[in-house]
Amino acid sequence: MRARTTKRAWIGIGIAVIAASASAQDTDPLLAARSSDPLELARVVDRLGDDAIVARIASEEQGADVRLAAVRAAPAMHAPERALEALAAVAAGRDPDLAPAAAHAMLDIARALDPQALDAREVLREELAPARAAIAAIVDDESARGDIRRAAGISVEILTSLGVS
């Protein structure tokens, strides 16, 4: 009788370990990089790719924690300007955590944009026009938080200085 109980206990433990392992594998890699350490985020962005980061930012089906991690990782993308439009959409929203984080990431990206780097990535300035328009809409939105509007205003100025209209 004791052998059966022991065997059942081991089977139960095995099932629990397998379930925990499957659950850990289902965790988004961005969540595994819980900290906002730029080096850690850059490693995850390298592994996932820019498209995956932008998709997570834009997807409303993603959990808020995954989207927030993607927003924080956006400046570490290889071509972070690709995230500007998605970040503007999130910054224009009303989520008290996501919107300011998106505005901050948007501003970080705009400040880091360099004409030579854009040219090296073969980014035409007109490709950034939709992002600039989305960001400018935040500046004009009087219902948006002041800090978000300021970040958007600075971002628009930077994009304009780079020749984006």
Q: In which band, very low, low, confident or very high, does the pLDDT at 36 lie, cut at 50, 70 and 90? A: low
> pLDDT for 47-86, tens place per residue?
999 999 999 999 988 889 999 999 999 999 999 999 999 9
Q: DSSP assignment of 65-88, as one string?
A: HHHHHHHHHGGGSSSGGGGHHHHH
- Compute how many other C-beta atoms are within 10 angstroms of the C-beta atom of residue 123: 18
Domains of the chain: 29-162 (1.25.10.10)
Q: How far is CA 22 from CA 25, 61, 73, 134, in A?
A: 5, 21, 25, 40
CA distance 64 to 117: 31
DSSP H or E run through 98: helix 98-112
Q: What is the pTM of this model?
A: 0.81
Residue 37 confidence class, pLDDT cut points 50, 70, 90: confident
